Amino acid sequence: MSKKLFVFACLVFFSIVVQAKNYGADMPKGKAVDIAAASKNTDAYVGKSAKFKGRITQVCQMEGCWLVIESNAQAARIKTKDHAFVIPKDSKGEAVVFGELKRVELAPEAAKHLAEDAGQSEPVASNELQIIATSISIK
């Protein structure tokens, strides 16, 4: 009997641990594209809305209005559409986002502002992939 209780407790624990926290609109169904794969084939994704996934490497420390996801040294900055929602500033782990992928050329002032929001002293790269997200799910 105690073995069954132990198995049940483990199942409950792991289901709580691996549940994702969702922000913004409901996440559409479907498979997410790894951001590394999307960055290697931008023609197939730029200007289109899709689900993308990657590991969180940065979060806006001012409001939580953007994050950066990365996979295999390829990254994209995720901005919340119309600043409609924010995520916790201490967010970590894997993220799935739904939104439109864009290639963006940042003005020097914008690059400096994003670096300051991240708590960095050096400006971010002036050319980057961005996703304007309506939904973010963090594990």
The structural domains of the chain, with segments of one domain joined by +, span: 21-138
Confidence (pLDDT) at 17: 47
Chain center to CA of 34: 11
Q: Does position 97 have pLDDT exceeding 70, yes or no?
A: yes
**CATH architecture label of 21-138:** Beta Barrel (2.40)
Confidence (pLDDT) at 128: 93
pTM > 0.85: yes or no? no
Mean pLDDT of the region 45-49: 94
C-alpha 45/C-alpha 63 separation (Å) is: 28
Mean pLDDT of the region 6-29: 70
